[in-house]
Structure 1
């Protein structure tokens, strides 16, 4: 998957997470980001990778996101592999 396509999927995932206050607050806690920092760096590929990491941790949330965006459930994982930090995941 091209990085640009991966970034678009991750931005959609961020929008989806932001629509759910509980999920959004959990993402902020786990990522260590605050709203201001997230707003200023939302387009950063590393931040987008962390968004997909968060989404991929919860199958129910992942499937709901994919259904809401008419995506195959494997798209977010494939997108994650195109963003920074994927090398670390591949070496696990």
Structure 2
């Protein structure tokens, strides 16, 4: 069984792939920025904040077609995205949901 550090490292790797996936998509990026309230020029700074990577995965998981496209394009099993979310800071499903 993998230890917590290697699980978190793997989770961060998936989240960084997800961020690249979102950033490269001309439709997803504006939606992500609108949902998070982050300005495009602030993404690098925001990426260092606790919970940012979890937020990227929550964004991917919130829309099944996006999740499936991410999984297909990156070779990441869809179930791994949810597991990665739970391994990241602030990714334990104890977050506010939009109304």
TM-score (norm: length of structure 1): 0.87
1:41 matched to which residue of 2? 46
Distance 1:43 1:68 in 2: 25
RMSD across aligned positions (CA)? 1.5
Shift of residue 21, structure 1, vs aligned partner = 1.4
Where do residues 1-92 of structure 1 align in structure 2 (5 Å cutoff)?
2-87=7-92, 88=94
* Structure with the bigger percentage of helix: 1
Where do 5+ consecutive residues of structure 1 fail to align? none
Distance 2:11 2:50 in 1: 9
Larger radius of gyration: 2
Aligned length: 89
TM-score (norm: length of structure 2): 0.81
Where do 5+ consecutive residues of structure 2 fail to align? none
8 A contact 1:49–1:83 mirrored in 2: yes
Shift of residue 43, structure 1, vs aligned partner = 4.3
8 A contact 1:11–1:48 mirrored in 2: yes
